[in-house]
Amino acid sequence: MFLYNLSDSSFSVFTHYLSHLGIGPNGSNIAFNTGSIIAGIVMMFFFLNFSVFLIKKEVPRILVSLSCIAGFISSLGNILIGLFPSDGSQVLHNFVASFFFLGGLAYCILYGISEWKAINISKLQALSGFVVAFFFVVFVSLTYLSFYIPELLKLSHFSEWILFILLMFWIIGHEVVMIKNKKLT
């Protein structure tokens, strides 16, 4: 956002989606697209690590596997968002972004269920996945509705930023729990 705003101060969480950074001025496009690709790859390793962690907590493998597959789909979407920014084909960009959002919705729900079944994992932590999933639904719904009710566009933009922040807290929080658990064992 900083790089974008150096050239165009109109950028805000109420006027732009995150993907607008991928077509922004002043190198914000390079930073966002490269970051999106790298983040997608890092997310894949996170989901693998988290899945192994849950299997050790005696969560059924099929449930963990489905969760991990959804995580990989979302990660692939993140990588593809960086490869296909919206200044090329908006239709293609939206298609690859749907992998990120729908995969994210699925993994938040599936990992939430997995954590609920796990031994020695806080139920509050398990519920956090459902909270993030709710914001995936809010964002997708507002984005869809904004085509018919343009007044909702600002809320759609803002909801994506809220979703992004919550998702980062979800991932970092789970990583902290896994690190603490390794120190205890």
Angstrom distance (rounded) from CA 33 to CA 112: 29
Going from the first residue of the chain to its last (185 residues), give the mean pLDDT of each consecutive group of 10, the final group possibly shorter: 89 94 93 97 98 95 98 98 90 95 98 94 94 98 96 97 97 94 77
pLDDT of residue 134: 98
What does the DSSP assignment read for 101-132?
HHHHHHHHHHHHHHHHHSTT--HHHHHHHHHH
Q: What are the boundaries of each domain within the chain?
A: 2-178
Angstrom distance (rounded) from CA 136 to CA 167: 9
Model confidence pTM above 0.95: no
**106 contacts 118 by C-beta, under 8 angstroms:** no
CA 88 to chain centre: 22
pLDDT of residue 185: 61
Name 64's Cβ contacts closer than 8 Å, sequence gap at least 6: 51, 54, 55, 114
Check residue 20 and report its DSSP letter. G
Neighbours of 151 (CB within 10 A): 8
Residue 162 in tokens: 């809220």
What does the CA dihedral 148, 75, 1, 86 come to, rounded to 10 degrees?
Answer: -50
Residue 25 — φ and ψ, nearest 5°? -85, 175
Neighbours of 20 (CB within 10 A): 19
pLDDT of residue 86: 86
